[in-house]
Amino acid sequence: MPERGKGIQGERKPNRGPSAGPGNRRALIAAAREVFATEGLQAPFSAVAKKAGVGQGSLYRHFPDRLSLAVAVFDENLDELDLAVAPSDATLDDLLDAIIGQVVVSTAFIDLIWHNRHDERVTHLSDKLAGIVERVLVREQAAGRLGDHVESADVLLAITMLADVISRADAAERPDVARRAWSLMHHAFLPRD
């Protein structure tokens, strides 16, 4: 039995100091996605630190609360969406498929973000998504794949509706519900004769 205050050799990771910060942050975001996808927002915050393999002090330094962590997840999601639609042949379907894929595993954070949408930490997310949607919309309308009647606000509303219906569905049904809902909305966006 080790002496009180003395850990067993090899249990403790060496402290890498500030250089560990970016890696710890990435690990915490990845762990949060996994923990909250399986256990929901009621999961203990400490479970995120444990899954990431970092101490709770590191968790709270990077993310003082659940909202800060949710914003970081959504910021990463939006960066991924931005990359997904960067190619000139990326379509609105590509964007919505990517969003659906993210929503299916991020449902725990959706309500948290929605209920805090006026928080200064959250407001930039809408602007970031609107910019991505606008780029795709202009490209799709120029190619004749979307009607001129479609506005960015329409696509953003469709995304909100999709996120809501997906987050309310049972986990096993989410992919099918998402496909069916987008299929219905997609027809409203097609060019009109």
Q: Per residue in 44-74, pLDDT tens?
A: 999 999 999 999 999 999 999 999 999 999 9
Q: Is 9 left (phi over 0), alpha (psi -120 to 50) or beta?
A: beta
The SS3 call for residue 38 is: helix
Query: In this predicted structure, what is the pLDDT of residue 16?
Result: 53
Residue 145: is its pLDDT beyond 50? yes
Q: Which of 136, 181, 167 is nearest to 70 (CA)?
A: 167
Whole-model pTM? 0.82
